[in-house]
Structure 1
């Protein structure tokens, strides 16, 4: 039986990261809406999470593998602003980007926009922290594979 990689415990040095938007397309289906055909507020949060997982995947971070290593990235803060409702049948883009790392906090910014970028439906932000799933404690450093995937040339 192979051992899981050791999770890091030393301090995370703030790094500079790419601030490019990652686009995740969505379509509003009936199960996303209330009886009036307007998107239910919780559907927006689910789309933000889906976009975040796909963003990490695009950077080479497989969330399932991260969890297998014993590291989770729970949301510790969530802020969402509803600007305009989406309705059944509409299509939009969830734009996602990781902001500058703050200690071990990973702030992620979002905008849900119309396909032509003219309308902002939702804007939001979450903050993630790396947690050792066995010890139940916040890590002082990201696993090296995650840190290198999120960093750019300094």
Structure 2
């Protein structure tokens, strides 16, 4: 499968009153890695828009394994797991120095025709063909 990673340093504004990363910020970390993955397959948000489809997230899960703390460098990896009927992207956040698993999760996005608002039950053929070529 296709993967992309980004590295971030935990900043003060990421923290909650308990001095660990506030749970809602993990969604932003996932988004940063997802954009890197979409760039890698040349189908980021501008390309989605130009293709006539929007891809809303319809499901998301996050499992917090260990805390992220101020100054810590983390690596966020996004891996495309499914693409025929939807985009299922798995995420793994690890400590950049030790590789310790900190958080994992996934998102599911579905294709929706921009003009009609109709959800597709299969990813557009051009995207399936592109991704099959990249995974062979």
Which TM-score applies when normalising by structure 2? 0.87
Structure 2 residue 14 is matched with structure 1 residue 32: yes
Is 1:126 aligned with 2:120? no
Give 1:128 shift.
Answer: 1.0
Aligned residue-pair number: 135
CA RMSD of aligned residues (A): 1.9
After superposition, the C-alpha distances for 1:50-96 in whole angstroms (9 at most, x for unaligned) are: 21111110122232121133311111111110000101111110011
Structure 2: where are the runs of 5+ without partners? none
SS of residue paired to 1:41: coil
Higher RCO (CA < 8 A, seq sep 6+) = 1
Q: Is the 8 A contact 2:86 2:122 kept in 1?
A: no
Give the structure-1-normalised TM-score.
0.77
Q: Which residue of 2 aligns with 1:81?
A: 63
**Which blocks of at least 5 consecutive residues in structure 1 are unaligned?**
1-18
State the shift of 1:117 in Å.
5.3
Pick closer, same or farther for the CA change 1:20–1:105 going to 2, 3 Å.
closer
Task: Say whether 1:96 aligns with 2:69.
Answer: no
Structure 1 match to 2:93: 112
Higher radius of gyration, 1 or 2: 1
| Structure with the higher strand share, 1 or 2 | 2
